[in-house]
Amino acid sequence: MYQPPQFKETRLEVLHGLIRAHPLGMLVCNGPEGPIANPIPFLLDAVEGQPGVLRAHLSRANPAWQAIGQQPETPVLAVFQGPQAYVTPSWYETKKQTGKVVPTWNYAIVQVRGRAEIIDDPVWLRDQIETLTGQHESGRSAAWQVSDAPERFIEAQMKGIVGLRIEIAGIEGKWKVSQNRPVEDRAGVAKGYRDERNDAMAGLVRDYGGIEEG
Q: For residue 78, how many C-alpha atoms fall within 13 Å in the half-sphere facing its CB?
A: 32
Q: For residue 102, how many C-alpha atoms fall within 13 Å in the half-sphere facing its CB?
A: 1
CA distances from 33 to 1, 76, 116 (A): 23, 16, 19
The enclosing H or E element of 4 equals: none
pLDDT tens-place string over residues 103-159? 999 999 999 999 999 999 999 999 999 999 999 999 899 999 999 999 999 999 999
d(CA 10, CA 33): 34
pLDDT at position 49 is: 74
CA triple 109-55-27, angle to 5 deg:
45
Exposed/middle/buried for residue 50 (C-beta within 10 Å: 0-12, 13-18, 19+): exposed
pLDDT at 95 > cutoff 70:
yes
More confidently predicted of 211 and 78: 78
Query: Helix (H, G, I), strand (E, B), or coil: what is residue 203?
Result: helix
d(CA 84, CA 107): 4
pLDDT tens-place string over residues 164-206? 999 999 999 999 999 999 999 999 999 999 999 999 999 999 9
Q: What is the DSSP string of 105-149?
A: EEEEEEEEEEEEEEE--HHHHHHHHHHHHHHHHTT-TT---GGGS
d(CA 153, CA 132): 18
pLDDT at 214 > cutoff 70:
no
Percentage, residues of the chain above pLDDT 90: 92
pLDDT tens-place string over residues 39-86? 999 999 988 778 999 999 999 999 999 999 998 889 999 999 999 999
pLDDT at 207 > cutoff 70:
yes
Q: Which CATH architecture has domain 5-88+102-183?
A: Roll (2.30)
pLDDT at position 211 is: 85
pLDDT at 25 > cutoff 70:
yes
pLDDT at position 36 is: 96
pLDDT at position 108 is: 98
CA distances from 88 to 85, 104, 178, 185, 190 (A): 10, 7, 12, 11, 12
Exposed/middle/buried for residue 172 (C-beta within 10 Å: 0-12, 13-18, 19+): middle
pLDDT at 4 > cutoff 70:
yes
